[in-house]
Amino acid sequence: MTDAPARSFTSALDRLLGAALIALTVVMVVTVTWQVATRYLLNSPSSYTEELATYLLLWISLLGAAYALRQRAHLGIDVVTARLGLEGRRRARVASYAVIAAFALVVFVVGGGILVSVTFELGQRSAAFQVPVGYVYLVLPLSGLLMAYYAVVGAVETLRRTAPPDDASGASEPPETVRFVD
């Protein structure tokens, strides 16, 4: 978005999300290292580390997907869009952002919100920590909101031409045709 408050908010959100992902990854590495050390060096595996590592992986994956969307780092197949002109690529990008936003809102926010609500209502608790599993699943609607927000930001940047027209990979030209000579 080009207005200063929105740009500032998005930039702050980018930094916060990046820092959170780094922190979660550090905690996960320490947790898994502790699990391996207690299992193989002490012959007494820690009871909570496997569950914590699983939940951290869930949070890192979903929040990382939102972060990757903002960074335009998701894998994309550009067989069709590479053959389009500049305006065609922009339209295709805006359309893909619209699909991403709709998917994130329906599946992650609505579906994830229902899952969180149901797990809280049923009183489901994690095995090792005995905390409500709804807290673990809160990452679903949170990441969905982030993805939807980043999709809207990406679409607006594309429409206002403040985003690069091509992927971050730089793949903007179709590959040369391979000719086989007998």
CB atoms within 10 A of CB 144: 25
What confidence tens digit (pLDDT) does each residue in 1-23 have? 447 888 899 999 999 999 999 99
Q: What pLDDT, in 10s, does the model give residues 165-174?
A: 555 444 444 4
Dist CA 59 CA 20 (whole Å): 10
Three-state DSSP at 125 gives strand
Residue in 143, 141, 142, 123 with CA at minimum distance from that of residue 133: 123
Strands (E), 37-134: none
Residue ranges of the domains in the chain? 4-159
What average pLDDT does this structure show over 118-133? 96
Q: At a CB cut-off of 8 Å and minimum separation 6, what does 121 contact?
A: none
- Prediction pTM value: 0.85
Nearest-angstrom CA–CA distance, 174 and 132 = 50
